[in-house]
Chains A and B, each alone.
Chain A
Amino acid sequence: TQLLEQSPQFLSIQEGENLTVYCNSSSVFSSLQWYRQEPGEGPVLLVTVVTGGEVKKLKRLTFQFGDARKDSSLHITAAQPGDTGLYLCAGNRNYNQGGKLIFGQGTELSVKP
Chain B
Amino acid sequence: NAGVTQTPKFRVLKTGQSMTLLCAQDMNHEYMYWYRQDPGMGLRLIHYSVGEGTTAKGEVPDGYNVSRLKKQNFLLGLESAAPSQTSVYFCASSRIQVQETQYFGPGTRLLVL
* A interface list, Cβ under 8 A from B: 2, 4, 6, 9, 30-31, 33, 40-45, 48, 50, 88, 90, 92, 94-106
A88-B43, A101-B45, A103-B42 as given contacts; A42 in contact with B104, CB under 8 Å: yes
- Structural contact, B107 and A40, CB atoms closer than 8 A: yes
| CA A18 to CA B78, docked complex, whole Å | 44
A40 to B104, CA, bound (A): 12
Please tell me if the beta carbons of A98 and B31 are within 8 angstroms of each other in the complex. yes
The size of the chain B interface, using a CB distance under 8 A, is: 29
When distances are taken between beta carbons in the complex, the residues of chain B under 8 Å from A33 are 99, 101-102
The answer to whether A97 and B98 have CB atoms under 8 Å apart is: yes
- Tell which of A42, A45, A105 touches B90, judged by Cβ atoms closer than 8 Å: A42
Residues of A within 8 Å of B61, CB to CB, are none
List the 8 closest A-B pairs by CB distance, nearest first.
Answer: A42-B104, A103-B42, A103-B43, A31-B99, A105-B42, A45-B101, A98-B100, A98-B98
